[in-house]
Amino acid sequence: MMFLRGKNLFCWFVLTLLLPVYSIGQEAKNKAELSQKVETLLSKMTLEEKAGQMVNIGLMALCEGEFYGGQDTIRLDSSKLYHLIRDYHIGSVQNMGKYPLTIEEWRYFIGRIQEVAQKETRLGIPVIYGIDGVHGATYTVGSTLFPHQLGLAATRNPALAEATGRITAYEAMASGIPWVYGPNLDVSKQPLWGRISETFGEDTYITQVLGDAYIRGAQGPGLGGPYQVAVCPKHFLGYGTPFNGKDRSPVYLPEHLLRQYYLPPFVSAIQDGAPSIMINSGSVNGVPCHIDKYLITDLLKGELGFEGVVISDWADIMNLVEVHRVAVDEKEAVRLAVNAGLDMCMEPYDESFAVKVVELVKEGAVPLARIDDAVRRILTLKMKLGLFEHAMYPVSEYPDFASESFTASSFQAALESLTLLKNENNVLPLSKEAKVLVTGVAANSMNYLNGAWSRTFSGQEADYNDEEKFTVLEALQAQLGKDKVAYVQGTDYEADINTAEAVRRASEADVIIACLGERPATEKPSD
């Protein structure tokens, strides 16, 4: 018996040694097979088909009416759909129109786009649909909203960041969307910048740890299943510390500070398997990031070994002409960006980027090898996601969408994000007998609680808020009783409304709750 135990122990020991070796070997085999599939498909593609794969276009470019027409009902325009997806081989679509869509609407729009891409093009390459899932699958009606990343940072709880990533991925995939532009890994040390709430704050370590946790949740054990999305950490590099505090503006930081404080979260994200990264819209030390070959090719792809897709931010190729003024026209901007290492352009409006790529390659201004490298990365991402086999999983796979358990996770994250700074004279918890005055611009606004990227881009449109949620005022009245809670707005964001009345009513109250806050905004409007 002792011999058998010893023999079994020996076998267990040998297996323990061999399993990692087998796993590594299997991983290498899978990678080689994937690479072969990509190369086979790439070899069949024309230059025009390759160029189209490098374009990420806005949904509204495929819809009836003007791009910024503010349509109350959006409808796909068949002529635009065929023009861009079939004729110009556009490989990616992103975001939404004026209003959030239901699961059914998302699945219809994306399903129709995939139908054209896979059944009515020569090679049947699916599109990859991306979305700004900034604090949940926020553009899907009824989805679970989480605190913004700054709130998650206040929790100091990686498990909650992981749950945020996992549930965001689940509900995005339920909507048919396999690619999420996040997490935001910008370390921000500029208090004037309007997008700090979208980050994990000023601390590199917290950003790194919580970013890792979010990615683990969103991507799970690996891409290719019904509940995992591809993440897209952003914005490489230094975006969160603009010199003047304005969005998309210059950053001036010595390289040793960039490496010490701003790079580590991206290094970890790459090690975690992030398959795409979005570039900083601004410039670093005088060089626009979208044309910075050192930043994209030498550092990101070379030194850090990033093998995924490098994508621009919104319309940033034309910004090289109109904002940075380093290119005389779009064609020169495309040449500079692609040669610097950009793989995909978020060109929301039309096919012009693809047209310019074809022209530049034919003129010898951009090497075909650079285009092949970009498209190879894009095809690899699509194959890793399993889009060729499952462009969209059945809706029956997602019974937990907006479930009570998801809501409980969101509530726990919100609860742990609260930070009590003072409690003089034990004001809290509130006495249920106290007369309470509630005042302030954020007192009776769901939009101020949610922030930007909440059902809409700005998060300011009250028409699209979740009806079952409570404002601060409504929650206090529900807990304490309407007879105990008085409300006087006082001011709105820009002007006095009835401050004198608020002061008068304050003298009658035992407790005054002043709800302060910034009006929701992001990107340039947040300046």
Nearest CA-CA partner of 337 in 403, 281, 393: 281
Sheet with 485-488: strands ordered across: 485-488, 436-439, 511-514
Q: How far apart are the first and last CA of the chain?
A: 76
Neighbours of 35 (CB within 10 A): 13
Instruction: Work out the angle between the directed axes of helices 330-340 and 368-384 (0-180°, nearest 10).
Output: 70
Q: Report the distance separating Cα 400 and Cα 226, nearest Å.
A: 13
Q: Determine phi and psi for 129, rounding to 5 degrees.
A: -95, 130
**CB–CB of 149/233 below 8 Å?**
no
Nearest CA-CA partner of 54 in 320, 314, 376: 376
**CB–CB of 54/374 below 8 Å?**
yes
Nearest CA-CA partner of 344 in 241, 257, 446, 230: 230
Vertex 59 angle, CA 57 and 62, to 5° = 90
Nearest CA-CA partner of 455 in 439, 472, 469: 469
DSSP-derived secondary structure letter, 288: E
Report how far apart, in Å, the C-alpha atoms of 240 and of each of 158, 202, 203, 210, 290 are.
Answer: 22, 9, 12, 17, 16
Nearest CA-CA partner of 397 in 66, 175, 93, 129: 175
Q: Which of 212, 247, 313, 343 is catalytic?
A: 313
**CB–CB of 275/222 below 8 Å?**
no
Q: Determine phi and psi for 497, rounding to 5 degrees.
A: -110, -60
Instruction: Work out the angle between the directed axes of helices 158-174 and 204-219 (0-180°, nearest 10).
Output: 40
Examine the residue annotation and report whether 313 is marked as an active-site residue of this protein.
Answer: yes
Report how far apart, in Å, the C-alpha atoms of 41 and of each of 38, 44, 50, 388 are.
Answer: 5, 5, 11, 12
Report how far apart, in Å, the C-alpha atoms of 145 and of each of 198, 227, 459 are.
Answer: 13, 17, 12
- The residues annotated with a catalytic role in the active site are 313
